[in-house]
Structure formats: C-alpha cells, structure tokens
Chains A and B, each alone.
Chain A
C-alpha cells in the first residue's frame, strides 16, 4: 500500500470551510429565491450575506495560495487519457477494475476531475461571485449609472446556484468512487491518499 500526502493543511481547511459555506448558501439562497420557508426571508438574507463575505475572504486566500504555491497548475486541462477515465466511470468501475489514473503529488486530479474543477473555478464561481456582488450592490451600481435589472441579476445568480448544486451532488457522489467508498473522504480529512496497489496498471 502506497501513501501519498496530497492535500496540505491549508487546502483541507479551505476545502471544508468552502463546503460548509456553499451548503449554507445553497440552503439560505434557495429560501431567498422563494423555494421554501425555513429561517424566514430576513434571517436567510442575513445569513446568506454573512456567508458570502466569509466565502469571498476564503477565496481571496485560496487564490493567493494557488498562485504562490503553483498549485493552480493542477487545473490545467489535459485530454491525455481522458477517454480511459471516461471508460472507467462508464464501465470499468462496475467490473471492479482499479482507477486508471495514478495520483501523484504533481498531478492529483484525473483529467475529468481537472476539467470539472476548472469549470467550477472559471465558470460557476465567477458567475456566482459577480452576480452576487451585483445583487448586493444593485442600488449603488444603479446610482453610479450602471442600469441593471434586478430580475436579470437575480436570474444569473440563480443559474449559478443551480450549477453549483449540480456540481455538489456529483462531487459528493464521486467521493465514494475511490478504491474504497471512504478512501477519498479520508484523504481530504487526513491529507494522505492511500493508493491501491493495482492503481494505474491499466493506464500504464
């Protein structure tokens, strides 16, 4: 059994705090959207804004961390072996085959994963972030001459929220697809990935 330290302490703190905040914002956000009544609009709005500022702060630190450590390269897209990974999730995983991608310190996400996270970082996050700030500062923007429609801002923010929700559902499920059901979860808690001995054989 091979053990690799792939998630540093900051990365794990960032991940779990972000997870908590995003779940909190989905819950309060869909209440603001009028989907259900839980805290009441007032409280939901307040919690959503607090969580938003906490998340923005966290993202500022995370972006800084990504660039200073060079970890941003983890998300560089690559089509290399992507067909093999797709085949694994569509077929091999049901046959009990090991994952074709070998996790290394330099490349800790398989190509499909890297694409997904890049999408989150370049599409969903900016959409949620920009539309959210426009929502928050709607009056100031209009006063400054940026004539925005609140309906448009809210709709874009909602689209972002739905995309984030879809990502979250898929992400939570894919955690269970390690060589054991809890292997990925344990890695994000301890930082150590226990790689299967069989790992990467097919791809090599």
Chain B
C-alpha cells in the first residue's frame, strides 16, 4: 500500500514538472488581453487623442459610452427637482465654481482640451482613456487643457516648474482596470489638494490599513473603488447629486434583477448584517432609522491627511508689506492662511455631525436669491426627517465658510480665480474684476458690489468604514449630550424621557422613602420611651 501511494505521489509530481516545463502557466490575469502584444499600441504616440484613437479601433463603443456620463459632461439634471447640476453648474464653498477656471479645474476632466466653451463634446478622440485605465502610475496631465506631457514642459506656464515627459506607448501597453490610484488621482484631491473636499476620501486610501478602511485594507479585502462603484458601460454608480438616502432592499444576488444602487452598504450586506455580538437583533433593528455609516464610520479623515472644515474667503487678499501673497502654516505644516484663498481650518479624525437624510439634495445655484441677512446659506440643502419613511440618520461632514456674493442682485457669484491674466483673483487680488469676468462668462448679472456671506455644504460620509471593533458604541448616542443630541423626531432611550413622568416618579419614590423613614423614626423614638 505504502509503495503504491508513493508511486502515485511521484507520478503526480513528475506529471506536474513535465507540464510546467512544457507550457509555463501564464501569469494569472483578470483579463484575456495583454495590451503590450497589440500592434496598435506598439508605436510612438505624440498626443493623448492619438492613444484614444488606437483604443477605439478595438473598443469601438467606449468613447460614446463615456460621452453619456457626468465624468464627461460635468452636468446632470436631478430627476427629483429638475435642477441642472454637475461641476459645470454648481457653486460650492471650496474653490467656488468652474466657469472661467476650467483651465485649472478640467485637469480632472476625462478628456483632452476642455479650457473653454469651444470644447467639442462630440469628439470621441478627446476622451481620455488613460487617466482611468493607467496601471503604470506614470500617467500625468498638464493644467490648461489636460494634455499629457509628451516632452518636458513648464507647467503651469511661467511657474518655472518643469514636468517631465512621459512615454505614452509604454503606458498604453499597460492599460487595465481602474484602481484606487486612478480614481484617487482626482477624487482624493478634490477641492484643490489631498483630502481637502470629502473628508472620507484622501490619498491614505491608495493603500490603506484596515483601521482606515476595512474594505480597502491593502493587505486584506483590498477593494478598489469599482468593487462597489461598478461601472457597466462606463456608467459609474453612486452619486452625491442623487444619492440613495435609504436602501430598504435586500442584498443583491447574481441572476436576480436588482435595480437599486449597487454601491450602498445594503446592496451587499442586506438589512440584517449583524450576526454576532451581544445583541445582534437589536443592532439589526437600528437599520430602519440609522444609516450603517453612522455607527461604522466613527470619524473621518482618519488616514493622517487632514480635511478642510472651514474656508473663509473674506480674509483673502492680505499681502506682505512688499505686496507679495503669503502662506501661513500651523504646527503640522498645514496651510491655514493663503493670500489667494483666505483662512482655513483643517482637521483630522473628525467626529461627524448627524442629520436625517432621504437622498434629496437641493443646491443653491447661480441666480437663486441669497442674502446675508438670512443667516447661513446652504450650498446644498438636504431633504429628510424622522417621519417621511425614506430618511435615515446619516453622518455628515459640514463644510463651513464665508464666500463672495452680490449684495445688490442677491446671488452667489462665480469669480474668475485661476488664470494668468489681469482679472484672475489669484493673480490680481481684486474681487470686483474677478467676479465681473466670471459672471460675464456665465451670462449672469453682476452689480459690481461684493460682500461675503456664510455658507454650509453637507457631505454625507460613506467611505473610511472602520473595522467593527471600532464602530461607535451604544453609549455615544444613548445619552444626553451624545452624538445624536440634535436629532429630532425620534425617541432615543438614554437621551429622551418624559420629564413629567420623571418628576412625578421621583417625587413618589422620594415621598415613599421619606414616609417610611419618618414612620420608622417615630417607632424608634416611641420604643425608647
């Protein structure tokens, strides 16, 4: 028996060796194509669009698919309220608006050459395939049209900074699926710098530890962005303009038609995700009122990169005695004042604020009436309350700021901030000129007067999900002065109580105690007698 077993083992080993020697197993790829073997890519490329043309010879529909997405149009109509949104239209309280600043903003457009309104949105070759599908990490785009540097280039022009040329053929031959790096190249740096905008997305997610993001954990589950944000036909799911406030559906199952947003927590975890722990049923029951994120993202900006919490444009423009712009940094080296931009407050490990949210977002757009006298202007007002049946309690980054507006026409404004010309604010420090240029470009009236008003912008927090051990504990909400202290319309045990019942209850209990003590005292006194 033993000998025959050994023989079998030996023959198996031998067979394995022979096979390995005959036909070396190919590296296990997640694709059937090795782009370095494609003749179309074995040539020199002198521009981005040339690469795209080569891609389109095989991927015939890809550019047309991109044309339909907001990655390309920077525009969408919110089906709930018909507001025309997208980066092309909205005004926020970071760099304010795109408009005349496209040269800087559109470096993150998935195309080549969008600097002004003459850009051809019908052009297929202007679609930038590489910015999302580069796997080499070497791809770069220049400011002012987003072209890749095929030779060493000074960028921005006049800055003295030389951007080294990149080898487009080598990059094209290594294309593949999107990654945390490609998505992150823009989305980690929204608002003009690492972590500035979102709070729950920054460069720490490129290769995060488990404690920063349990799903993206680089040595664990290693999710990419597209693991959740699937992109059938290049249409990436998930949106901040039309988000899902409450997903009451079950986990998606292969083969079953699932029309709901596949990027929600519930689309994988379902409605009863808690299986272990002290009271799994009670935790599961929270899901009708509390978003998963509320407990599972205890803080945002946890990866060591601070996020901007406040941006006061009203203090911009202070110059040195020599008339030069200046930067002030805090003890950690983070910029807290920039003459071009004003005062900043940045923070790490930020505990979110909380609000009811049903997925409805209403922006304050150009032309909408705003007034300093009305208090804080909401850049994006969120819908939702305890009783509409469609809302959950969500964690929020609330971005606060002060920004320019037209006090006569009572509208927000789109200043021309970036640019190497004589009206751009960052070069000339003159609000009137900058706003006049920006508003003229937007075909919007401007009175010539400038004032500043306070604004708030809401960012539902959904990334940087912590390991379950780090989830927010019961005590942090079920208490007075806890995380959910401001949440109205729901009875939270430990926070809420009927004060009349409390008053009468304690009076009754105290009265009983006093009564029996008095009775006992009289007995003791009488007994001594």
Contact = CB atoms under 8 A, between A and B. Distances in A.
Interface of A: 32-34, 37, 40-42, 45-46, 49, 89, 93-96, 138-139, 149-151, 154-155, 158-159, 161-163, 165-166, 169-170, 173-174, 176
Interface stretch (B179-187, B314-322, B323-331, B513-521): B513-521
B468 interface: no
A162 to B, nearest CB: 3
B448 interface: no
B279 A166 contact: no
Nearest to A31: B494
Contacts of B520: 173, 176
Contacts of A33: 493-494, 497
The 8 A-B pairs at the shortest CB distance, nearest first, are namely A162-B505, A173-B516, A151-B491, A42-B474, A139-B285, A41-B478, A34-B494, A150-B491
Nearest to B287: A139
Given A33-B493, A37-B475, 10 more contacts: A34-B496, A41-B475, A46-B279, A94-B523, A94-B526, A158-B501, A159-B505, A162-B509, A166-B509, A170-B515
B278 A46 contact: yes
A165 B509 contact: yes
A158 B512 CA distance: 17
- Majority-rule SS of B interface residues: helix
Nearest to B500: A155
A90 B279 CA distance: 49
A42 B479 contact: no
9 contacts: A32-B493, A32-B494, A34-B480, A42-B474, A94-B523, A155-B501, A158-B501, A161-B505, A162-B509
Among A41, A155, A162, A173, residue most surrounded by chain B Cβ atoms (within 10 Å): A41
B209 interface: no
B192 interface: no
Given A45-B282, A94-B526, A166 B495 contact: no
Contacts of B82: none
B28 interface: no
A34 B512 contact: no
Given A96-B526, A162-B501, A42 B473 contact: yes
Scoring B493, B506, B527 by chain A CB atoms within 10 A of each residue's CB, the highest score goes to B493
A45 B279 contact: yes
B516 A170 contact: yes
Given A34-B493, A42-B473, A49-B279, A139 B478 contact: no
B475 to A, nearest CB: 5
Contact of A42 (B278, B498, B515): B278
B237 to A, nearest CB: 29
A163 B504 CA distance: 11
A154 B490 CA distance: 12
Contact of B496 (A46, A151, A165): A151
Contact of B474 (A45, A95, A138, A161): A45
Contacts of B490: 150
Interface in B468-494: 473-475, 478-480, 490-491, 493-494
Contacts of A95: 526
Given A37-B479, A42-B474, A173-B516, A158 B505 contact: yes
B512 A169 contact: yes
Given A41-B475, A42-B475, A155-B501, A94 B522 contact: yes
Given A45-B474, A162-B505, A166-B512, A34 B285 contact: no
Given A45-B279, A49-B279, A173 B519 contact: yes
A76 to B, nearest CB: 25
A158 B497 contact: yes
B495 A34 contact: yes
B309 to A, nearest CB: 29
A34 B491 contact: no
Contact of A34 (B473, B479, B504, B519): B479
A166 B508 contact: yes
B484 to A, nearest CB: 12
A90 B526 CA distance: 13
A174 B480 CA distance: 37
A170 B518 CA distance: 12
B472 to A, nearest CB: 11
B523 to A, nearest CB: 6
A162 B491 CA distance: 19
B167 interface: no
A169 B520 CA distance: 13
A137 to B, nearest CB: 10
A36 B69 CA distance: 54
Nearest to A176: B520
A149 B501 CA distance: 16
B526 A154 contact: no
B498 A169 contact: no
Given A139-B285, A162-B505, A162-B509, A155 B498 contact: yes
A94 B498 CA distance: 40
Nearest to B525: A94
A166 B511 CA distance: 9
A139 B288 contact: yes
